[in-house]
Amino acid sequence: MKLLCVDSEPAYREIISLCAQEENLEVHTASTYKEAMEAFLEHEPDIVTLDVLIKGGNAFNLVKEFKAIAGERLVPIVFVTSNSSDLMMDQCFVIGADDFIPKPFNEQLFNIRLKAHMRNVQLMQEMYGKNKTLTYFQTMIEREHEMAHQVLNHIQNRNEINTRNLAVTRLSAASFNGDLALVKTRIDNSTLIFVGDFTGHGLSASIGALPIMQAFFDAVDELTEVSDLVTQINRMLLSILPDYMFCAGYLMLISEQGEISYWGGGMPDALILRDSGSLDAISSNHMPLGILPIHEFESDFHTSQLHDGDTLLIASDGVLELKNNKNEMLGKELLKAYISQAYSNNEEDLRVSQFNMEKKLSRYLGECEQLDDITLVAYKKART
């Protein structure tokens, strides 16, 4: 740590230098305005002691110059002067001084005040160093997030786009969405759907999405059966996820004729809004993926049927657990009411219905913070 002593009196320059050297400070001295400026620029001192009266210039202007050069760096300015009037003290502090010590001074008192300023400088330097480290890691995290975004987006580009008969909504609670919604039509015109909800949200929850995406699109190309694909996904997640993470999910295969073969684990009930206006539930009866070992995992699937004009809706628990300004969860019954209102059978374009549903969820949330990722997948069987 370095100290600059600016004083026109040689005796005080020597006394201050000796006191500072006892505290292991590197000391530089100046007797004039010009010398002080040159020394400050060359040595970048951490503490400055300064007399009000200096040769070749105004001490108050010198303080302004020092503060401007130091910028955000903390450099305590300690006035050491023979003029100890209240008016002079007030002027020194107004101009930017950090301390005021009248001459002649007690060396013990000077050392106590000097140590206090040294501690402040050291704390600020440590904080600056930590902030610099944090900024570095923040930059690295942002770069890694950007890279992960690109990888996820690249793989999801194979997803079906929203059409009159398909709509997918994914709303993130963080920069990364821990929910996964994959939809792809196979060459046999069957549609494969996977909706997954990983433990938590954000980047950590998105990590498990990469292998699932790859397995999903490979299965589309290879016409893999539902039971085989869900077994493969469970095996993969067991090997890569930590013990505290898992993935609740639905895997569905919808034939061109509307027959649904589905496996569900740990998810809220999916719903089918019939053309008549009634609602039927599809239950998720299995344990989530990534929990049970291979010999305990159940890959058996169930079936259901979509008729012309029926709409299948799969929602993650982030939809049901959405909270309003009264801290009330949306819940199953209100979700059913919203679905019946939004997905009117008079509207043939599912994208319009999905937009209406998004507006209802947004109004329910209001100004409250979204606490979990939201995913809503809607599939409507076209009328023939």
Residue 344 lies in a domain: yes
Say whether pLDDT at 323 is over 70: yes
Residue 381: count other Cβ atoms within 10 Å of its Cβ. 21
The number of domains in the chain is 2
Residue 298 lies in a domain: yes
Same domain, 302 and 365: yes
CA distances 145 to 123, 150, 376, Å, are 32, 9, 24
Same domain, 319 and 242: yes
User: What residue numbers bound the domain in which 63 lies?
Assistant: 2-129
Write down the pLDDT at residue 148.
67
Average pLDDT of the residues in 201-228: 84
Say whether pLDDT at 327 is over 70: yes
Residue 177 lies in a domain: yes
Same domain, 165 and 120: no
Of 245, 244, 283, which is closest to residue 267 (Cα–Cα)? 283
How far is 297 from 76, CA to CA, in rounded Å? 68
Same domain, 124 and 217: no
Given pLDDT bands bounded at 50, 70 and 90, which one contains residue 204? low
Same domain, 99 and 220: no
Residue ending a domain, among 113, 129, 145, is 129
Q: Reduced to 3 DSSP states, what percent helix, strand and coil does the chain have, rounded to the nearest 5?
A: 40, 25, 35
How far is 245 from 204, CA to CA, in rounded Å? 9
Residue 2 — φ and ψ, nearest 5°? -120, 145
The Cα angle at residue 371 between residues 246 and 332, in degrees rounded to 5: 80
Given pLDDT bands bounded at 50, 70 and 90, which one contains residue 171? confident
Residue 211 lies in a domain: yes
Of 209, 215, 145, 220, which is closest to residue 180 (Cα–Cα)? 209
Q: Encode burial over 362-375: b for 16+ CB neighbours within 10 A, e otherwise.
A: eebbeeeebebbbb
- Tokens for 346, please give them: 């008079």
AA identity, residue 179: D
CATH number at residue 366: 3.60.40.10
Share of the chain above pLDDT 90, in %: 68
Same domain, 277 and 366: yes
Write down the pLDDT at residue 33.
95
pTM above 0.85, yes or no: no
SS3 at position 55: strand
SS3 at position 181: strand
Residue 344: count other Cβ atoms within 10 Å of its Cβ. 13
Same domain, 275 and 211: yes
Residue 193 lies in a domain: yes
Same domain, 112 and 164: no
CA atoms within 13 A on the CB side of 318: 29
Write down the pLDDT at residue 177.
63
How far is 141 from 132, CA to CA, in rounded Å? 14
Same domain, 284 and 194: yes
